[in-house]
Amino acid sequence: MHHPINILERYWNHTSFRPLQEDIITAVLEGEDTFVLMPTAGGKSVCFQIPALIKDGICIVVSPLIALMRDQVEGLKDKGIKAIALTSGIKFSELDTLLDNCIYGNYKFLYLSPERLQQDIVKDRIKQMNVNLIAVDEAHCISQWGNDFRPAYKNIAILRTLKPHVNVIALTASATTKVVNDILLELDYIQPKVFKQSFLRPNIQYKVIDIEDKFHETESILNTTKESSIIYVRSRKASIEISNHLNSKGFSSTYFHGGLSNPEKTIKLNEWLNNQKQIMVATNAFGMGIDKPNVETVIHFNLPESIESYFQEAGRAGRNGNPAQAILLKNEQDETLIKNQFISVLPTVEQTKIIYKKLCNYFQISYGEGVAKTFEFNFYNFYKTYNFNSLITYNTLQLLDRTSIISISQEFKKRSKVQFIVSNELLFNYLDKNKSMAIIVKSILRTYAGIFDQEIKINLSLIASKVSKTENDVINTLKQLERDQLITLKLSATDSEVTFLQPREDDKTIYRIAKTIEQQYKLKRDQVNSVINYINNDSVCKSKQLLNYFGEIDTEDCGICSVCTKDKSEKQNKTIDKEIITLLNKKAMSSRDISKELNVNINELKTALNHLLEYNKIIITETNTYKIKND
């Protein structure tokens, strides 16, 4: 049972490995430091999960993505494998217990963020653990040249000190040659086993279409698409508007963005995964952990922020190996829009200082204080209070989060305090007359004891999930109960929670990350320019352009992208032009006669004839035949 293929069959129900997986697993089992560059859907997680299951002890997995950690832990638990994730919001007493479980509880996986490696309790307990492998997921985050660089990832080096004899596997789905070299350096690899899977996706037809009316073009594309589709947009508003537009045209569409509640996300995702809805219109919040094999078309309605993002999103098409297409729509305004959206709103060092100081003032944090303090945070109120630009403010907070000055959770929350102020009998008489509200009210009563006696804080998300409703449904029910004087209600809304990770030192705090701010500005500018170069380069195969970006140089034209098919079409047109001239040099002929003689499609022939007429090579006679124009 300890052979990799047996583990694969037992837990994953597969009888064979994907390319490179078995070689990577063998290298890890032999104790080698290993680096894996494998595009999305290549099966990276299996490369560290199977060796960890074979070896005695626990595998430490470092990941920056809380949602991905949760997904992987739930996936392992569903297979009967013991796994723990140290996500944010865990109390010290609970953290203490979880870490003890990793030492004494026969757990096989401990998932944690790089920030956790700064905590003494975490470092002390890791020393006591029987660690069999260290896995660094999303390894590009460790490189200053990587997409989503996080300085906290440099804390991973601590693990090499705590467990010097344990080998490390680093994995990423997108990294340029420069980023790969940086990862190997930062992780202190000496003679690593490096595995790089080609980024070539021969079944995907990459297209860039220059079109003014994107709505009409999207409809035309979808009319020829039989299987599932994804449309990526840049805003939550656009995801709703485009989805509604498509539904009004008879398509089957839903939408997805980061502002939806968890129950809403689950409902919409399942509708699409189960083929109840053919089209998913989504922001880039959609995609992580999504592995739907029959996606035939991915459309980018707006330009992506980087080639890395585009390749991952486009790569969600054709995972079953069938022909698929990744289409990027552009028009004259797009270059200006992408620069405004991703470059002009990047904070400078000075802007970062100002916004950080105001954030501290907003929560009345004194100089030298603030460490580990957490506050409910309404983003809209904050930037309006100080009259800040919303996008620059948002990007500044993201920057402060990535550089571990603060930690900001962006799971939309609504917290409420409720007390029922009527008797049980009166309440149920009311529910008999308002039956649509009964399921939500009964769920609240069964979940929270004492709610008739005192105000109780209730979890709206929990209630919504229990009764398969949205949070808005729960809120509307509570508001109606309040209007009918059955409850007292205190409803508060927050965008997020902010935790301060470092003491307030104003300029000194920001000075420590000034180089990172400047470097990230340059990186983002280079990434945007790479996207602009990609959409405007109509002379090099689109697939080849993408492969070259990721360091694959000696590649061949794909033959199916918008550049390759354009070249073929132009060559065919030139050949038809010559053949028509040869025929008409002999005598005047009708279009029908020319079509029969050359055996070409009538539409291709019309295109060629119009081209020759435009350039005055031929003329139409009075009898509607074509002949060579004599000078």
CA 529, chain centre distance (Å): 21
The torsion angle over the Cα atoms of residues 98, 102, 108 and 109, rounded to 10 degrees, is 50
What pLDDT is attached to residue 569?
A: 61
Of the listed ranges 206-220, 313-327, 332-346, 461-475, the one predicted with least confidence? 461-475
Beta bridge partners of 456: 418
Domain 204-331 has CATH 2.60.40.10: no
What pLDDT is attached to residue 601?
A: 64
Topology at the third CATH level for domain 4-196 = Rossmann fold (3.40.50)
Annotate 511-535 with DSSP letters as a single string.
Answer: HTTHHHHHHHHHHHHHHHHHHHHHH
User: Regarding predicted confidence, which is higher, 277 or 377?
Assistant: 277
Q: Which of 449, 446, 452 is nearest to 427 (CA)?
A: 452
Tell me what the mean pLDDT of segment 390-400 comes to: 91
Give the pLDDT band (50/70/90) at residue 21: very high
What pLDDT is attached to residue 494?
A: 60
Task: Indicate whether 115 pLDDT > 70.
Answer: yes
The CA-CA-CA angle for residues 199, 283, 84, to 5°, reads 75
Q: Which of 387, 259, 389 is nearest to 397 (CA)?
A: 389
User: Regarding predicted confidence, which is higher, 606 or 296?
Assistant: 296
d(CA 564, CA 558): 7
Strands annotated E in 203-309: 204-210, 228-232, 253-256, 279-282, 295-300
Q: Are 171 and 36 in contact (CB under 8 A)?
A: yes
Tell me what the mean pLDDT of segment 188-210 comes to: 92
Task: Indicate whether 314 pLDDT > 90.
Answer: yes
Domain 562-628 has CATH 2.40.340.10: no
d(CA 324, CA 205): 6
Q: What are phi and psi of 253, to 5 degrees?
A: -135, 150
Give the pLDDT band (50/70/90) at residue 253: very high
How do residues 499-512 score in pLDDT, each as one tens digit?
A: 898 999 999 999 99
How do residues 564-594 score in pLDDT, each as one tens digit?
A: 988 666 666 677 888 888 888 888 888 888 8
Of the listed ranges 97-111, 213-227, 316-330, 492-506, the one predicted with least confidence? 492-506
Which residue carries 């680096």 as its tokens? 35
- Secondary structure of residue 302 in the 3-state scheme: coil
d(CA 393, CA 120): 32
CA end-to-end span of the chain: 85
What pLDDT is attached to residue 372?
A: 83
d(CA 249, CA 243): 10
Q: Do domains 4-196 and 204-331 have the same CATH topology?
A: yes
What pLDDT is attached to residue 150?
A: 76
Q: Which of 520, 148, 499 is nearest to 352 (CA)?
A: 520
Tell me what the mean pLDDT of segment 450-468 comes to: 80
d(CA 539, CA 359): 49
CA 584, chain centre distance (Å): 57
- Secondary structure of residue 407 in the 3-state scheme: strand
DSSP secondary structure letter of residue 152: G
Task: Indicate whether 74 pLDDT > 60.
Answer: yes
- Secondary structure of residue 628 in the 3-state scheme: strand
d(CA 316, CA 108): 30
Q: What is the CATH code for 340-411+497-512? A: 1.10.10.10
Q: Which of 308, 305, 312, 306 is nearest to 326 (CA)?
A: 312
d(CA 161, CA 169): 16
Highest mean pLDDT among 91-100, 222-231, 451-460: 222-231
Give the pLDDT band (50/70/90) at residue 412: very low
Annotate 120-145 with DSSP letters as a single string.
Answer: HHHHHHHHHS-EEEEEESSGGGGSTT
Can you read off the two tokens belonging to residue 293?
A: 């094999």
Give the pLDDT band (50/70/90) at residue 2: confident
Beta bridge partners of 620: 626
Q: Are 291 and 228 in contact (CB under 8 A)?
A: no
Element at 78 (helix H, strand E): helix 66-78
Tell me what the mean pLDDT of segment 197-207 comes to: 92
> Could you tell me which residues come within 8 angstroms of residue 235 by beta carbon, excluding any fewer than 6 positions away?
283
What pLDDT is attached to residue 249?
A: 94
Give the pLDDT band (50/70/90) at residue 413: very low
Distances (CA, A) of 556 to 323, 527, 564, 569: 18, 24, 11, 19
Highest mean pLDDT among 53-67, 185-199, 239-253, 510-524: 239-253
Residue type for 336, please?
T
Give the pLDDT band (50/70/90) at residue 41: low
Q: Are 393 and 356 in contact (CB under 8 A)?
A: no
The CA-CA-CA angle for residues 482, 484, 486, to 5°, reads 65
Tell me what the mean pLDDT of segment 44-59 comes to: 95
Beta bridge partners of 628: 618
3-state helix/strand/coil string of 31-77 = CCCEEEECCCCCCHHHHHHHHHHHCCCEEEEECCCHHHHHHHHHHHH
Task: Indicate whether 397 pLDDT > 90.
Answer: yes
What is the pLDDT of the chain when averaged over all its residues?
88
Proportion of the chain above pLDDT 70, given as a percent: 95
d(CA 286, CA 293): 16
Residue type for 459, please?
N
d(CA 490, CA 457): 9
Give the pLDDT band (50/70/90) at residue 1: low
Q: Would you list the domain boundaries of the chain?
A: 4-196, 204-331, 340-411+497-512, 413-494, 562-628
What pLDDT is attached to residue 493?
A: 60
DSSP secondary structure letter of residue 171: E
Q: Are 375 and 497 in contact (CB under 8 A)?
A: yes
What pLDDT is attached to residue 77?
A: 92
Tell me what the mean pLDDT of segment 318-342 comes to: 91
Neighbour count for residue 92 (Cβ, 10 Å):
9
Report pTM.
0.70
